[in-house]
């Protein structure tokens, strides 16, 4: 079984070419992908060559963990049937092709993929390109949900993750958070909360600060803005080592929490919120481009300040 996939050959080297897929097993489904998202966090680090080393990393690789499409084959017992629309957080389903082994990290940027049934969730077919946003929405939900976790009253960054954090805070019944955004072009699109330039904010009493910008240089600034005993939640992904001045953090009795990867429970909870209307995914996708033009799409996703979220359209590549 073959497909067409985005292949990251090395830093800033992208191609769209045929790949070979593994044979589906008894607990797996085959999905024809309609839409896949380009991550401006982890994928940008792979694209730029600045991703810190970790197990499984290497080139060439098929990137992407935000993919949605139609089930075209079901093997064994499965909750899905042919024709179902599903979200699949990537797949490691690629085998050697023309003598070359591809790494499925994270393997979602492909016209077709093979994945375990228990990794996918069924979606409403009416979602369109926004159907690829569920991993990002689950990431935001994971950062907020859980015992002894306070909702943010300050969110740093009004990208897609920051917007989802703000929307989820309001959906959970919290007070509308303040959102910092330095780029004037990204201050629009707020739904029930305020987005301001951080230089215009004089507050020094934030109890819970969520950083969705992934800026390793912000810690000292954020510690100075927090109330005594406050918490900073690192919800982004950081390529550089993090550091901060100890004395101000000591005086504030600051707490630091790192939000880890989302779980399946987060994915299911996010779907319930979207299905019920409590969480909207509207207005988060700014650009949709043909998958065959992925090289240009990836460059725009990482360098165009007007690109909030890039989605690749695979329907012509099926």
111 with 6, same domain: the answer is yes
99 with 175, same domain: the answer is no
Q: What's the predicted TM-score (pTM) here? A: 0.93
In a domain, 273, yes or no: no
15 with 118, same domain: the answer is yes
In a domain, 272, yes or no: no
Burial bucket for residue 310 (CB in 10 Å: 0-12, 13-18, 19+): buried
87 with 182, same domain: the answer is no
How would you write the pLDDT of the chain (318 residues) with one tens digit per residue? 899 999 998 888 999 999 999 999 999 999 999 999 999 888 888 888 888 777 667 888 899 999 999 999 999 889 999 999 999 999 999 987 677 778 766 899 999 999 999 999 999 989 999 999 999 999 999 999 976 789 999 999 999 999 999 999 999 999 999 999 999 999 999 999 999 999 999 999 999 999 999 888 999 999 999 999 999 999 988 888 899 999 999 999 999 999 988 999 999 999 999 999 999 999 999 999 999 999 999 999 999 989 999 999 999 876
In a domain, 81, yes or no: yes
158 with 111, same domain: the answer is no
240 with 311, same domain: the answer is no
85 with 159, same domain: the answer is no
Q: What's the domain count of the chain?
A: 2
Q: Identify the domain containing residue 58 by its residue range.
A: 2-123+286-317
**Residue burial 22-53, b: 16+ Cβ < 10 Å; e: rest:** eebeeebbbbbbbbbbbbbbbbbbbbeeebee
Q: 64, 60, 4: which is closest to 32 by C-alpha? A: 4
């Amino acid at each position: 079984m073959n497909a067409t996939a985005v292949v990251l050959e090395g830093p800033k080297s992208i191609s769209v070419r045929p790949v070979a897929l593994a044979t589906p097993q008894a607990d797996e489904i085959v999905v024809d992908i309609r839409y896949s998202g380009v991550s401006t966090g982890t994928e940008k680090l792979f694209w730029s060559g600045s991703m810190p080393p970790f197990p499984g990393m290497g080139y060439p690789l098929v990137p992407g963990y935000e993919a949605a499409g139609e089930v075209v084959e079901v093997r064994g017992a499965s909750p899905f049937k042919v024709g179902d629309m599903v979200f699949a957080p990537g797949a490691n389903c690629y085998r050697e092709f023309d003598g070359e082994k591809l790494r499925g990290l994270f393997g979602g940027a492909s016209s077709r993929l093979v994945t375990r049934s228990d990794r996918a969730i069924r979606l409403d077919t009416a979602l369109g390109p926004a159907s690829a946003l569920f991993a990002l929405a689950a990431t935001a939900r994971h950062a907020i949900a859980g015992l002894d976790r306070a909702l943010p009253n300050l969110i740093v960054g009004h990208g897609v993750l920051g917007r989802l954090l703000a929307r989820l805070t309001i959906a959970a019944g919290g007070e509308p958070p303040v959102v910092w955004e330095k780029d004037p072009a990204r201050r629009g699109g707020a739904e029930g909360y305020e987005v301001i330039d951080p230089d215009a904010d004089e507050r020094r009493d934030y109890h819970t600060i969520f950083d969705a910008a992934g800026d390793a240089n912000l810690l000292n600034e954020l510690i100075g803005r927090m109330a005594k005993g406050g918490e900073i939640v690192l919800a982004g992904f950081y390529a550089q080592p993090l550091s901060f001045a100890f004395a101000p953090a000591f005086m504030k009795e600051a707490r630091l929490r790192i939000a880890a990867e989302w779980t399946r429970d987060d994915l299911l909870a996010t779907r319930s919120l979207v299905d019920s209307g409590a969480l909207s995914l509207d207005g988060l996708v700014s650009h949709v481009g043909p998958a065959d033009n992925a090289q240009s799409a990836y460059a725009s996703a990482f360098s165009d300040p007007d690109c909030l979220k890039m989605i690749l359209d695979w329907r012509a590549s099926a």
